[in-house]
A and B are shown apart, each in its own frame.
Chain A
Amino acid sequence: MSVDTLPISIGFGGGAELLFGNKKNFAISLPVQEITKWQISDLLKWIQDNLLKERPELFIQDNSVRPGILVLINDVDWELMDTINYVIQPNDEIVFISTLHGG
């Protein structure tokens, strides 16, 4: 039986949720027809197109996150896992924590 979606959960914290209508958690199924191997860089574009409500410049810069946004993949710092090139696995939990919001 072939799998036709990639289920993941996305979380936002540290004020990043303000950019996503104040919602902190999203359960997502990514389509695998056009992109068979989803990397974080692909996910970022998808988030920008589908979830981001405002101020994209506070979240995305070039093809990565804006400096100041921390990314954890299953509670592990993405810098330990090749950042934007990491290939997303089913049921991964990807959390974005902003350090740009607040005093």
Chain B
Amino acid sequence: MCSVGDDVDEEKAKFMQKKITLNFTNALCIKCRTLKPQVILHNQYPYCKACFLSGTVHKFKALLGKNRVVQPNESVLIHHKAGHASTALLHFLRTGLDLNTPKKIRFKPIIAYIEDNYELNVEDRTHISRQVSDEAERLNFPIVFINLAQYVTNKSNLPSIVHEKVEDLRIDPDDNMKIRAAVKSNSTLTTQTEIVHYFERELLLKVAKHLGCQCIFTTDLGIDIASQLLKNVTLGRGENIVYDTGVVDSRDMDVSVLRPLRNFTIKELALYNYFNHLEPVSFYRKTKNPYSSMQNLVEKFLADLHVNYPATISTIVRTGDKLGVNNEPSEDRCMLCKVPIRKEIESLGSAEATNFSHWISTQTRSCDKSLKERTSQILATFDNNKYNKYCYSCNQIAPYLCQ
């Protein structure tokens, strides 16, 4: 049966808005309505330079104000990822710290740069790290450097691999091999990417604790949130969406993760940097083959879709904000992603159906029994294995960890 017409809901016909070309010849800034606009956001909203800049700073402060996860005089770890977002974030913080008003920022940011560009050559990686160091210095922030590959090789001695000077950061040509060695060689790129992602999160949390920080700021933009949400859906991580994409991630008892840039687009921050005469740390990223992993495919899909349907990313982010999880959490947490493992639900679910398929596909049938008897036996002996160490999705990748 044709299902195209199913897309229409009784109340309103929801269609994604295609990109529209508007005429701005006589437009004025929609905020002050006095000056001619210099910037246009989301293909629809024109702003003059002053209103754009003040609006951007205000948006940042509003999110911080609304989510009071940081107390005055607390230390906050800033996860630097080299690029427009990181530069803008540092500038927002510096401006906020230098204020002489009651609204001044009172927490203490420390930057952490996790060197994870093991796909590039040593020279480029060193150059990028130095640029990050220079940026931290220019904006007057303390910074530490850690090589992810070193952490993955030896997780037990963290203080020895956290460096305050970029010169002490060891970058080796075989870091790529070290990362690969942490995951079994028969795993797919999708699985490897997942596992490395969790190592990085684990490292970030440990560094935060080592430096006495109770909070981490990430540089995730709207597109990163939307991308993470879709990736979670495709990997069976519906339960993680609330943590991986929300404003605050409080999975860890001691350290919260805040995503202050989640309502920004890269265009906004690139223009913010430009008008403030800031140059971000930039480098060539290796082109990713979109068909080599689930994550790459989702990223490409989203980037392409957004070009023709500019409301895509904000729609997905807003959808994510309204989603919660379906059933009661138990006390246990997944060993890998630390999400509370859901209690067993009574009704049939996808996991059980898959388990049953696998069960029935591997049962040797005795041909002297009738079909009905065989079926009864298969149903009777089926045991839906419950996960107690890992959540549904981590359970699929756990076998590929080299412990």
Beta-carbon contact of A97 and B307 below 8 Å:
no
Q: How far is the CA of A72 from the CA of B283 in the complex (A)?
A: 21
B59 within 8 A of A: no
Q: How far is the CA of A95 from the CA of B270 in the complex (A)?
A: 12
Chain A to chain B: the 9 pairs with minimum beta-carbon distance, closest first: A15-B282, A102-B83, A103-B81, A101-B282, A103-B82, A102-B282, A103-B83, A99-B266, A80-B24
Residue of A nearest to B83 (CB): A102
Q: How far is the CA of A57 from the CA of B190 in the complex (A)?
A: 26
Question: B24, B81, B270: which contacts A99 (Cβ < 8 A)?
Answer: B270
With A67-B307, A102-B280, A103-B82 in contact, is A95–B274 under 8 Å at CB? Answer: yes
B257 within 8 A of A: no
Beta-carbon contact of B270 and A18 below 8 Å:
no
Residues from chain B with Cβ under 8 Å of A49 in the complex: none
With A14-B84, A14-B270 in contact, is A102–B38 under 8 Å at CB? Answer: no
Task: Kindly provide the distance from the CB of B222 to the nearest chain A CB, expressed in whole angstroms.
Answer: 13
Residue of B nearest to A17 (CB): B282
Q: How far is the CA of A97 from the CA of B274 in the complex (A)?
A: 8
Residues from chain B with Cβ under 8 Å of A77 in the complex: 37-40, 271
Beta-carbon contact of A80 and B49 below 8 Å:
no
Residue of A nearest to B81 (CB): A103
B267 within 8 A of A: yes
B126 within 8 A of A: no
Beta-carbon contact of B40 and A79 below 8 Å:
yes
Give the most central of A18, A77, A81, A97: most B CB within 10 Å.
A77
Q: How far is the CA of A13 from the CA of B272 in the complex (A)?
A: 13
Beta-carbon contact of A102 and B274 below 8 Å:
no
Task: Kindly provide the distance from the CB of B129 to the nearest chain A CB, expressed in whole angstroms.
Answer: 12
Beta-carbon contact of A70 and B267 below 8 Å:
yes
A-B contact count (CB 8 A): 77
Question: B39, B82, B279: which contacts A13 (Cβ < 8 A)?
Answer: B279
Beta-carbon contact of B282 and A18 below 8 Å:
yes
Task: Kindly provide the distance from the CB of A103 to the nearest chain B CB, expressed in whole angstroms.
Answer: 4
Residue of A nearest to B267 (CB): A70
| 13 A–B pairs (Cβ distance < 8 Å), ordered by A | A13-B274, A14-B274, A75-B275, A79-B24, A80-B27, A80-B38, A80-B39, A81-B24, A98-B282, A101-B285, A102-B83, A102-B283, A103-B285
Interface size on B, residues (CB 8 A): 31
Task: Kindly provide the distance from the CB of A25 to the nearest chain B CB, expressed in whole angstroms.
Answer: 13
Q: How far is the CA of A99 from the CA of B275 in the complex (A)?
A: 15
Residues from chain A with Cβ under 8 Å of B267 in the complex: 70, 99
Q: CB within 8 Å of A: which of B249-282?
A: 266-267, 270-271, 273-275, 279-282
Q: CB within 8 Å of B: which of A34-88?
A: 55, 67-68, 70, 72, 75-77, 79-81
Interface residues of A (CB under 8 A from B): 13-15, 18, 55, 67-68, 70, 72, 75-77, 79-81, 95, 97-103
Beta-carbon contact of B283 and A15 below 8 Å:
yes
Q: A70-B270, A101-B283, A102-B280 are in contact. List 6 more A-B contacts (CB 8 A).
A: A15-B284, A18-B283, A67-B303, A68-B266, A79-B40, A80-B40
Residues from chain A with Cβ under 8 Å of B274 in the complex: 13-14, 72, 95, 97
Residue of A nearest to B27 (CB): A80
Q: CB within 8 Å of A: which of B285-318?
A: 285, 303, 307
Beta-carbon contact of B43 and A99 below 8 Å:
no
Residue of B nearest to A101 (CB): B282
Beta-carbon contact of B273 and A102 below 8 Å:
no
B246 within 8 A of A: no
Residues from chain A with Cβ under 8 Å of B82 in the complex: 102-103
B75 within 8 A of A: no
B46 within 8 A of A: yes
B245 within 8 A of A: no
Residues from chain A with Cβ under 8 Å of B285 in the complex: 100-103
Bitwise, B60-86 to A at CB < 8 A (1) or not (0) is 000000000000000000000111111
Residues from chain B with Cβ under 8 Å of A68 in the complex: 266
Give the most central of A70, A99, A100, A102: most B CB within 10 Å.
A102
Residue of B nearest to A80 (CB): B24
Q: How far is the CA of A77 from the CA of B52 in the complex (A)?
A: 12
Beta-carbon contact of B283 and A75 below 8 Å:
no
Beta-carbon contact of A103 and B86 below 8 Å:
yes
Give the most central of B49, B273, B284: most A CB within 10 Å.
B284
Q: How far is the CA of A30 from the CA of B280 in the complex (A)?
A: 30
Task: Kindly provide the distance from the CB of B217 to the nearest chain A CB, expressed in whole angstroms.
Answer: 15
